[in-house]
Amino acid sequence: MKNAIAFLIACICFFCVNAQTIEKSNIDIILKTNGDELQGKVVEIEDDEVKFTYEGESLIYKIKKQDIVKVTYGSAA
């Protein structure tokens, strides 16, 4: 019984620590007006568009600001 309780406590601690490290990632999230959610990195913000790249890619995508509802920056956490 003691082993089961110790195992349960160890699992809870592992998941708590793991959740904290995932939450602090530097991935930016762009929510578009059509419901799409883009995860990667905001590279540049201009007057009428946002330049965005997916994680692990070097290609830069341009997204019109009028198509964006919200930007959540990973560094703000």
CATH number at residue 47: 2.30.30.100
Question: Which range of residues forms the domain containing residue 68?
Answer: 2-76
The mean pLDDT value of the chain amounts to 84
Question: Which pLDDT score, from 0 to 100, does residue 16 have?
Answer: 66
Question: Which pLDDT score, from 0 to 100, does residue 68 have?
Answer: 96
Question: Which pLDDT score, from 0 to 100, does residue 54 have?
Answer: 93
Residue position matching structure tokens 């956490």: 77
Question: What is the mean pLDDT of the segment spanning 37-61?
Answer: 94
Per the structure, the count of domains in the chain is 1
Do 1 and 7 form a contact (C-beta atoms < 8 A)?
no
